[in-house]
Amino acid sequence: MENLIKAGLVQKTYSPTSGCSACGSISPPQADGVCILGNDPTRPAGSALSAGGGEGGKKWLRGAALAAGGGFFLLGMVFTFSPAIEWGLFLASCLLAGGEVFLDAVKNILRGRLFNEMFLMSIAVAGAIAIGEYPEGAAVMLFYRVGEAFQDYAVGRSRKSISALMNIRPDFANLKVDGGLRRVSPEEVKPGDLIMVKPGEKIPLDGVITEGRSSLDTSALTGEALPRDVEPGNEVLSGSININGLLSIRVLKPFGESTVAKILELVQNAAARKTKVEQFITTFSRYYTPVVVLAALGLAFIPPLVLPGTGFFPWIHRALVFLVVSCPCALVVSIPLGFFGGIGGASARGILIKGSNYLEALNTIETVVFDKTGTLTKGVFTVTEISPEKGYAPEELLYYAAQAESNSNHPIALSVQNAYHGGGGRIAGYEEIAGQGIRVTVDGRKVLAGNSGLLDAEGISHSLPDVPGTVIYLALDGVFAGYIVISDELKPDSKEAILRLKALGVKNIAMLSGDRRGTAEKIGKELGLTTVYAELLPHQKVEKIEELEKNGTGGKLAFVGDGINDAPVLARADVGIAMGALGSDAAIEAADIVLMTDEPSAIPTAMGIARKTRRIIWQNIAFALGVKGVILILGALGIATMWGAVFGDVGVTAIAVLNSLRTLRFSRHP
């Protein structure tokens, strides 16, 4: 349990009279009366994950003391000595292995905290020695500490991916000043400043490349091993590693708002949001332990007083067995460790879950609602079709469209300009017609470029193609010349994501879009979506979410989006999922889960991780309660020995903890 305290996996409530029940500090916690165990409330927020980091020497001493205690125990068990020497060997074994436990028990008693595993172990061991059961008393303490070593190993494994995320925090930035470079803290750099990132260094802040080309290792952010090539004009995220080129970057955000800072904050605060199962176990152990202690006292003293011909020693022995096996460590340790492992395993795949309650909520998802642009599609408009009328060439059509759109910064206009790679023409009489398009003269020819309404207003007959995307109609000198289709491509894994969600039993998969109905419905049909809602304003998306929730059958609803206008919907849904790499800050802030890969297929992966985590946790609960229940009954009847009690506590805890480690291993497909 102490290892969980250091890892910050469990939380309890601060009491003004007795201090923090987790770390013992009398100082008030920083927020909401909650303290992450092992995290001194006087420390800066978010330091729980680094708690206990300077204990290398203490761990070595503990290991040496445990080994020495084990040696004395083996000597006493294997060889025959006089009673005095035997007593000394087992006592030495007990003190070396469990001296820290006894000391912590005394400290807890002085703080008014009686009913915890330290108290139970100390009373059981002291009682066993008092009635002459020296080997059993030493075994209880020795194996209890061995069980803690298993916990320590398990905590280390479960935090491995989290620790890797902690390492993405940059230590410095090379700030360009007066023609040179000055190494500064990332917090000192301001938006607009220029920084230099050399090969092998981490990008310290979010920004846009002004000079240089390179490949970036983004695996710590996205879980994707394939390097990403970048060039001037590309935006880059803090925490990425520059592999081979020298990059000059103009900073876009201060460090506190950068991607790396937000990831660290998400991970550090994840343990503070507990599931109902964790809350139940915390409450259960709070009442369960004192009840067990009172039951053990009754078992030790009531039967000898009411049953004739029975002595105190056999019943005290039964009570000690009862005390040892009743310790709730297996549940208190393995359940938060399982959720923490699930969160860590997800983060290694670029899925950042803000709390174990959201991980648990993924198990009951009934409806998944997607935004379209930037979520199911790439969010980048490109020219996908050029359809000229007879007598015109595609290159000619693209030329006149690019000249007409040359003065616009609209995404549609920019996509046409990017598709055209030739030179400029002679432009005159430029006129933008609101809601319709552009009238302009190019190289002496009158050009109309816009929607069908523009050509209708000019009395020019034209075809109306049924194609997905935005259509730019062109007329030259009053004659319809053809059209250009601008559309947003589907992400490569969008269809796979929908198929996997259906395989997981998601009943309703919907899409909300502000696009025209024809375009949205074609995409919905291509992906196999259940429902498509089109031509929606931001507030209407919230209304549709509420409507879908109202028509549901009790399961939870998840919304997946990436834009600023998605933030209200993300906050309104039971589980909000944001695309983190390209998504807006507002969307990431409002979301409960952030997908750093920007891949829709990460959603069924997250659901698979959640289901495996829940399965493992319930295995631990059933196993721990079942074994402990049997041994408690056998102990009360005088059948179970102290060795059985040791297995019921340490053995069950070790097995449950090792089982929890399985949450770290997950194949991509559920």
Q: Where are the domains of the chain?
A: 6-42+45-160+270-341+614-664, 173-268, 351-378+491-610, 379-489
Q: Is the pLDDT of residue 12 over 60?
A: no
Amino acid 353 reads I
**Calpha distance 670→605 (Å, rounded):** 7
pLDDT confidence of residue 16: 34
Amino acid 540 reads Q
pLDDT confidence of residue 589: 72
Q: Using an 8 Å Cβ cutoff, are 48 and 8 in contact?
A: yes
Q: Which CATH number fits domain 351-378+491-610: 3.40.50.1000, 3.30.300.30, 3.40.50.720, 3.30.497.10?
A: 3.40.50.1000
**Calpha distance 484→397 (Å, rounded):** 8
Max CA separation in the chain (angstroms): 120
Token pair of 624 as six digits: 């721990």
DSSP 148-162: HHHHHHHHHHHTHHH
pLDDT, mean of residues 233-259: 88
Which residues are known catalytic residues?
371
Q: Comparing 71 with 374, which gets the higher pLDDT?
A: 71
**What length is written for the chain?**
670
**Calpha distance 235→233 (Å, rounded):** 7
Pick from 333, 315, 281: nearest CA to 649: 333
- Range from 323-327, 439-443, 576-580 that averages highest in pLDDT: 439-443
Q: Comparing 412 with 459, which gets the higher pLDDT?
A: 459
**Calpha distance 168→238 (Å, rounded):** 8
Q: Comparing 380 with 504, which gets the higher pLDDT?
A: 504
Q: Comparing 481 with 415, which gets the higher pLDDT?
A: 481
β-pair type (365-371, 575-579): unpaired
pLDDT, mean of residues 101-121: 75
Pick from 307, 294, 209, 293: nearest CA to 249: 209
Token pair of 249 as six digits: 């970057």
β-pair type (470-476, 479-490): antiparallel
pLDDT confidence of residue 582: 54
CA distances from 610 to 149, 444, 543 (A): 27, 65, 28
Token pair of 640 as six digits: 């179970």
Pick from 668, 55, 9: nearest CA to 335: 9
Q: What are φ and ψ of residue 617, in 5° steps? A: -65, -45
Q: Which CATH number fits domain 379-489: 3.40.1110.10, 1.10.357.10, 3.40.190.10, 2.70.98.50?
A: 3.40.1110.10
pLDDT confidence of residue 46: 34
Q: Using an 8 Å Cβ cutoff, are 54 and 39 in contact?
A: no
pLDDT confidence of residue 483: 95
pLDDT confidence of residue 17: 34
Token pair of 114 as six digits: 């009686």
Q: Using an 8 Å Cβ cutoff, are 241 and 227 in contact?
A: no
**Calpha distance 237→249 (Å, rounded):** 11
CA distances from 483 to 393, 459, 470, 576, 581 (A): 12, 17, 10, 39, 34
**Calpha distance 484→365 (Å, rounded):** 41
Q: Is the pLDDT of residue 274 over 80?
A: no
pLDDT confidence of residue 347: 80
**Calpha distance 539→196 (Å, rounded):** 43
Q: What are φ and ψ of residue 437, in 5° steps? A: 155, -145
Pick from 423, 368, 292: nearest CA to 593: 368
Q: How far is CA 654 from the centre of its chain?
A: 26
Q: Which residue has the tokens 């915890």?
A: 116
Q: How far is CA 452 from the centre of its chain?
A: 47
Write the DSSP symbol of residue 664: G
Q: Which residue has the tokens 């250091």?
A: 6
Q: How far is CA 287 from the centre of its chain?
A: 31
pLDDT confidence of residue 314: 85
pLDDT, mean of residues 93-107: 83
Q: Using an 8 Å Cβ cutoff, are 361 and 573 in contact?
A: no
DSSP 255-322: GGGSHHHHHHHHHHHGGGS--HHHHHHHHHHHHHHHHHHHHHHHHHHHHHHHSTT--HHHHHHHHHHH
HEC profile of 323-344: HHHHCCHHHHHHHHHHHHHHHH
Q: Which CATH number fits domain 173-268: 1.20.1250.20, 3.40.50.150, 2.60.40.730, 2.70.150.10?
A: 2.70.150.10
Regarding pTM above 0.85, the answer is: no
**Calpha distance 239→229 (Å, rounded):** 15
Write the DSSP symbol of residue 460: -
Q: Is the pLDDT of residue 24 over 50?
A: no
β-pair type (365-371, 556-561): parallel
Q: Comparing 459 with 224, which gets the higher pLDDT?
A: 459
pLDDT confidence of residue 533: 92
Q: Using an 8 Å Cβ cutoff, are 370 and 528 in contact?
A: no
pLDDT confidence of residue 33: 34
Segment holding 651, helix H or strand E: none
**Calpha distance 566→580 (Å, rounded):** 13
Q: Using an 8 Å Cβ cutoff, are 252 and 235 in contact?
A: yes
Q: Is the pLDDT of residue 63 over 60?
A: yes
Amino acid 303 reads P
- pLDDT band for 159, please (50, 70, 90 cuts): low
- pLDDT band for 585, please (50, 70, 90 cuts): low
Contacts of 625 (CB under 8 A, 6+ apart): 331
Q: What are φ and ψ of residue 480, in 5° steps? A: -65, 125
